Amino acid sequence: MIIDSHVHIGRWSQDDAVEVLIGSASRSGIEVLMVSSLGERGYMSHPTREEMVSANNCVLEAIENFPENIRGICYVTPGLPEESLAEIDRCIASGPMVGIKLWIAAKASDPGVEPIAEKAIELNAPILQHAWYKMTGNMENESTPADVVVLARKFPGLHIHMAHLYGAGYRGIADIAPYPNIYVDTSGGDPEAAVLEYAVRGIGAERILFGSDAPGRGFAVQLGKVTGADISEDAREMILWKNAKRIYSL
Amino acid sequence: MIDVSAYTGNWHFRPLPGSTPQDLLARLNAHGIEQAFVSPIEGIFYDEPQLANEMLCEKLRDFPSLMPVAVLNPDLPNWQRNLDICCEKYRVRAIKLYPNYHRYNLNSEKARSLLKAADERNMPVIVQLRVQDVRAQNPLCIVPDVDVRSVIEAAHDIPYTRFVIGAIKWAEAISMAKEITELPNVWMEISHVEYTDCLRRLIKIYGTRQLLFATHAPFFVIKSAILKLQEADLSGDEYNAITRDNARTAFDLCRGK
């Protein structure tokens, strides 16, 4: 079994349609996709309430149509605190989704994230938090792993699934190493050799999840980061599916 | 299978497992890759890349299936002499250029002289657009990508020289498809092409004639390059073209040397 913990769907190109992604993933042996939508008609960094709801409706529809293959992550924004909490209730407390997605509306260290973090703890739902160290400069309000650490320290009971190991790099691995409530997925760039091996050594395989960030990235190439890594078979299994199953209570 | 873009040597910024000729070959062979075109990593940063070429050629003497690719810098006054040495003393099979790391314009007079001289020596020229994601570079060494349009312009104006576009990305390959497919003297290696079902989609747009299999090892995980092929569910003809036959044509492997 392989679970891809980081996939995006939408309806703004033929490439992000859920059936296209399920078909492509299955050719690489990936059975379960954990999907969020950052916008029905395009990635929205600061979505309105309507855009947030329509994005999440894409995911709810995908879960209904492909219950064997799809697990849902609810996209919300600290820019709309009340609306976001209501959306989390709709999609997770009263719905089938299993996690919360935060992108670049605010840094993970921003106090505006705190109500969402408290809600996540209440529902035992991990937060999938985008993070990156870009030497060319992060986007406005784009979190670094150091920002994620601030959130993890404020809320030790919160499970944070930090996106983009290969964007975090060696510095990012060093940042998060002391915080066992931060996990990281293997997305975030080219299949650079030896990065995953370093991460396994630095934070342990039990804190790493396979994630592709498809459709912008390819399932096969991203999977090769894990299946081609010089790590133990136990570690590989943890990364490919066991950790996602455990952390998200799938 | 033939890998048209692999490396040996040391990278300043992190260790690269499998970067000696012996280790590289073992790893390539383990994935079914029998031959590779190999350039020296040190050629990117040495003030005189010919020193890296000579180190590489000496190291590869005992590895006939690893074929040396020389790094030249047309901005240096001795590039012609270095090209002659690479051809006459060593079994160099291709030239690799880094216009971004070596800071010159591919369409400058000096660079075009080298491109023409390569054809006179029956050598294809790999123009490397990037070595690593610019966002992940060391802050002391942020090197912008080479504009693929500069390669297209050179290939258009120097039609007898064979060009291989190194490390092209999906978005570049798609946006420049019309221009690239019109150029019979251009190939592109697919180590950096990535998107959902990227290779199958690329074949729909390009056909197979211009596509060359490459790993970008030891920078990249070799397995990712292999899985990219498998995902595309290639026919026998497609597989042979991309992994072997096109490389034989682009690098003129049928000539005796």
Q: Name the region of B166 (left: φ>0; alpha: ψ -120 to 50; beta: rest).
A: beta
Residues B39, B70 contacting (CB under 8 angstroms): yes
Burial class (CB in 10 A: 0-12, 13-18, 19+), A135: middle
**pLDDT tens sequence across A96-122:** 999 999 999 999 999 999 999 999 999
- Amino acid identity for residue A169 in this structure: G
Fold topology of A3-247: TIM Barrel (3.20.20)
**Residue B257: what pLDDT?**
45
Domains by residue range for chain B, with CATH: 2-250 (3.20.20.140)
Mapping DSSP to helix (H, G, I), strand (E, B) and coil, where does residue A188 land?
A: coil
Tens of pLDDT, residue by residue over A26-46, are 999 999 999 999 998 888 999
- Residue A42: what pLDDT? 86
C-alpha span between A97 and A91 (Å, rounded): 6
Asked if B96 contacts B43 with a C-beta cutoff of 8 angstroms, the reply is: yes
Which residues numbered 91-150 in B keep a CB inside 8 Å of some CB on A?
132-139, 142
Gap from A25 CA to chain B (nearest CA, Å): 9
- Contacts of residue B17 in chain A, CB cutoff 8 Å? 193-194, 230
Would you report the helix, strand and coil content of chain A in percent, each value rounded to 5? 45, 15, 40
For residue A14, what pLDDT is reported? 75
pLDDT at A17: 87
Q: pLDDT tens digits for A67-97?
A: 999 999 999 999 999 999 999 999 999 999 9
pLDDT tens digits, B219-242: 999 999 999 999 999 999 999 999
Question: Which residues in chain B come in under a pLDDT of 50?
Answer: 257
Cβ–Cβ below 8 Å for B17 and A224: no
At A15, the pLDDT band (50, 70, 90 cuts) reads confident
- Three-state secondary structure call for residue A135: coil
Beta carbons of A190 and B135 less than 8 Å apart: no
Q: A12 or A61: whose pLDDT is higher?
A: A61
Mean local confidence (pLDDT), A140-166: 98
The pLDDT tens digits of the residues spanning B69-119 come to 999 999 999 999 999 999 999 989 999 999 999 999 999 999 999 999 999
pLDDT at residue number A41: 83
DSSP E strands, chain B: 2-8, 35-40, 66-71, 94-97, 125-128, 163-166, 186-189, 211-212
A residues 103..122 contacting B (CB < 8 A): none
Give the CA angle between residues B16, B100, B202 to the nearest 5°. 75
Q: B181: distance to nearest CA of chain A, Å?
A: 23
Cα distance between residue A146 and residue B33, in whole Å: 41
Mean pLDDT estimate for chain A: 96
Residue B255's pLDDT is what? 66
Contact A224 B223 (CB under 8 A): yes
Helix (H) or strand (E) holding B257: none
Alpha-carbon gap, residue B234 to B244, rounded angstroms: 13
Q: What angle do CA A161, A167, A173 make, to 5 degrees?
A: 65
B232 in Cβ contact with B197 (< 8 Å): yes
Model confidence at A16: pLDDT above 90: no
